[in-house]
Amino acid sequence: MDPSWYPIIKALHIIFMVTFFAGTFYIVRLFIYHQEALWSPEPARTILVQQFTLMERRLWYFITWPSVVLMTLFGLLLLWMNPGLLKQPWMHAKLGLIALLLAYHGITHRLFLRIQRNLLRWGSMRLRLWNEGPTLVLFAVVFLVVIKRLQWYYGVIGLLVLGGVIALSILQYRRKRQRHAEPGTTRP
């Protein structure tokens, strides 16, 4: 393949990475709203659940899945065009993180199939925590790609700090939500 195509393939890889992450972040947010809608009184419950089911299906099948496939294909094409990247330690770490991300995507697909039938047993708090996994991977991958050095101790420290901040934020949100809940009501 003509090397002049490399920047175009790289741009396409980045574009589909962005749309994949957008879909990945938003799908779990929809799961949270869907689960919370199940606690709504009728007729709101039926209306909301139908709307969230439709939104989830469109997002998952028309944006997120095509994006992950195209992101992966363009990434593999970049490696084929520049096999020297596979000798770089930072690329090994990136590919390991991408493998984790693809596993996350597979598990999220199983969650999607269950929530489409209103059979998901995860509460909104667990889904909120689940939604933060790709954030950690995104930070790590971007830093690896930009810095192109593998200093694992800085990466681990950075991810632990970021993970801690995210966890504290979620717990703070939960406390605030519980304080403002109506007396006598229980939420997922």
- Please report whether residue 87 resides in a domain: yes
pLDDT value at position 23? Answer: 98
Task: Tell whether the torsion through CA atoms of 63, 136, 120 and 179 is positive or negative.
Answer: negative
**pTM (two decimals):** 0.82
In this predicted structure, which of 12-21, 98-107, 178-187 has the lowest mean pLDDT?
178-187
- State the maximum Cα–Cα separation within the chain, in Å, rounded to a whole number: 67
- Please report whether residue 186 resides in a domain: no
- Please report whether residue 184 resides in a domain: no
- Please report whether residue 30 resides in a domain: yes
- Please report whether residue 42 resides in a domain: yes
- Please report whether residue 188 resides in a domain: no
Q: 48, 11 in Cβ contact below 8 A?
A: no
pLDDT tens-digit series, residues 99-156: 999 999 999 999 999 999 999 999 988 998 899 889 989 988 998 898 887 666 666 7
Mean model confidence pLDDT for the chain: 89
Domain count, the chain: 1
- Please report whether residue 133 resides in a domain: yes
What DSSP string runs through the chain? --GGGHHHHHHHHHHHHHHHHHHHHHHHHHHHHHHHHTTSPTTHHHHHHHHHHHHHHHHIIIIIHHHHHHHHHHHHHHHHH-GGGGG-HHHHHHHHHHHHHHHHHHHHHHHHHHHTTT-----HHHHHHHHTHHHHHHHHHHHHHHH----HHHHHHHHHHHHHHHHHHHHHHHHHHHHTSPTT----
pLDDT value at position 182? Answer: 56
Reported confidence tier of residue 187, pLDDT bands at 50, 70, 90:
low
Q: Name the residue range of residue 170's domain.
A: 3-179
- Please report whether residue 143 resides in a domain: yes
pLDDT(166) > 60: yes
